[in-house]
């Protein structure tokens, strides 16, 4: 993912009120917008090999940690859509790179690694649930027709079926 892809994804998330407001309140949205602009400004200065003010970097670092905590809480409490998935992965990449090129704060690193893992774990669980539903539906259809080789274990299958109910 390039920096342009990251900018596009984050920009689309910030610009889409319907999706964003399911994840962030208005105050957090305003903080995200300001912080996003600050990080992009810092990145452009770093690309020009200019030095950043240490006090501003520490302030930005604290703001990133704060908004990341909000994101982490919301990831646990709210449904995760594909749009939120894309935003979190892009945001994590942006803050990870900003952090590696500025202050190298361990907490920001950990948050930047944790958020995509939570999102990936969420979608893995959803995929597992859907696969198990398909298997359950298949077994329900097969239950009515059992070939003679399975007659021996039919009693065992019925016991398992009763435990599921």
Please write the tens of the pLDDT for every residue from 107-158: 999 999 999 999 999 999 999 999 999 998 887 777 667 665 555 566 777 7
- Asked if 36 contacts 12 with a C-beta cutoff of 8 angstroms, the reply is no
pLDDT tens, position by position, 40-84: 999 999 999 999 999 999 999 999 999 999 999 999 999 999 999
pLDDT at 106: 97
User: Per the domain annotation, does 35 fall within a domain?
Assistant: yes
Name the pTM for this structure: 0.83
User: Per the domain annotation, does 32 fall within a domain?
Assistant: yes
User: Per the domain annotation, does 159 fall within a domain?
Assistant: no
Angle between helices 82-101 and 3-15 (to 10 degrees): 130
pLDDT at 17: 94
User: Per the domain annotation, does 153 fall within a domain?
Assistant: no
Joined tokens for residue 60: 């930005």
What residue numbers bound the domain in which 13 lies?
3-128
Give, in order, the Cα–Cα distances in Å from 66 to each of 56, 69, 81, 151: 15, 5, 22, 61
Helix boundaries (H) for 102-153: 106-142
How many folded domains does the chain comprise? Answer: 1
- The closest of 96, 77, 89 to 119, measured between CA atoms, is 89
User: Per the domain annotation, does 148 fall within a domain?
Assistant: no
Q: Which residue has the higher pLDDT, 22 or 163?
A: 22
Q: How far apart are CA 78 and CA 83, in angstroms?
A: 13
User: Per the domain annotation, does 84 fall within a domain?
Assistant: yes
User: Per the domain annotation, does 147 fall within a domain?
Assistant: no
């Amino acid at each position: 993912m390039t920096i342009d892809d990251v900018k596009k994804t984050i920009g689309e998330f910030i610009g889409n009120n319907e999706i964003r407001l399911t994840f962030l309140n208005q105050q957090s949205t305003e903080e995200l917008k300001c912080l996003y602009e600050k990080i992009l400004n810092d990145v452009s200065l770093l690309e020009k090999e200019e030095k950043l003010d240490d006090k501003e970097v520490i302030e930005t670092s604290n703001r990133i940690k704060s908004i990341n905590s909000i994101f982490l809480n919301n990831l646990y409490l709210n449904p995760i859509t594909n749009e939120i998935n894309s935003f979190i992965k892009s945001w994590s990449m942006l803050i990870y790179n900003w952090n590696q090129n500025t202050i190298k704060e361990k907490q920001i690193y950990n948050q930047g690694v944790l958020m995509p893992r939570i999102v990936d774990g969420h979608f893995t669980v959803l995929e597992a649930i859907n696969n198990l539903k398909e298997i359950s539906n298949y077994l329900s259809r097969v239950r009515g027709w059992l070939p003679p080789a399975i007659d021996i274990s039919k009693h065992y299958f019925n016991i398992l079926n009763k435990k599921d109910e």
